[in-house]
Structure 1
């Protein structure tokens, strides 16, 4: 005779706990289904980000970041950041910070601006150690903080990291 698998019943609490846990995993499952792994964030990134955002809660608005989604060479990744700002004495961008989530040093660069710049636009190049998120923060003269996040996949000779 065959052994019949024992069927266990879930009570309401077990069902809700299981459903909640499964719902929390959905973003990770969705990324895995698309061949993406959840990107880790280093302790240094967390500390740097907390320090930069201590003055205000960042708002995802008014920053345009031109950054390649795929970088064949992580040693030379071009980036252009533009912040929609009138750049007047009363309303301007004071600083633009580039922060990486997985580089050995999280704060990639800080650019200080003033109304004399006329346009809040910066171009540069940076090194990315591996696939990660690049976060651009813009500090405003009124104390506000703007943010943009871009994921960059770093490959070595086009073969993934």
Structure 2
């Protein structure tokens, strides 16, 4: 944690003075854009896998290739697994390329799940790539990618 005075709107302000004034929101708005930038798609996947290699296959991501409205896009992710105590899917994560947040969802599974499949609706800010990654009980990671063209975008913000 930062212990010395902070520069807020060009003035040096002590932490206690800032908290006493109730102006904690100034900290976030005064940070440079690179300090609050969203992680890239690859960085988000690396964080999920803790740097482990991700292999292609064993996962199927169903995403419509053409999406009329990005506010509610139905997706299904299924992984090849017998879902036994010795061989099952632990987690399935979904990531996106261009939304304000790279992480979409993480689903926790186990042998009692019966099937290694999840379905949900997500928002897509624009045409982009979506990636699903499954963590298996042996510690391996498998993935699938799909692209979608979005005609009416959701999550409208400055995405540059």
> TM-score by structure 1 length?
0.68
Identify the residue that residue 151 of structure 1 maps to in structure 2: 147
CA distance in 2 between partners of 1:56 and 1:44 (Å):
17
- Within a 5 Å distance, the mapping from 1:50-61 to structure 2 comes to 50-61=46-57
> How big is the shift at 1:50?
1.9
The alignment partner of 1:155 has SS state of strand
> How big is the shift at 1:86?
0.6
The alignment partner of 2:101 has SS state of coil
Does 2:81 align with 1:85? yes
> TM-score by structure 2 length?
0.69
Query: Structure 2 residue aligned with 1:120, among 90, 94, 116?
Result: 116
* Contact 2:56/2:143, CA 8 A, preserved across alignment: yes
Q: CA RMSD in A?
A: 1.5
* Contact 2:62/2:146, CA 8 A, preserved across alignment: no
Residue-by-residue CA offset, 1:35-88 (whole Å, 9 max, x unaligned): xxxxxxx64434312212325211111111211001000001000111110101
CA distance in 2 between partners of 1:56 and 1:144 (Å):
8
CA distance in 2 between partners of 1:63 and 1:100 (Å):
16
Greater CA radius of gyration, 1 or 2? Answer: 1
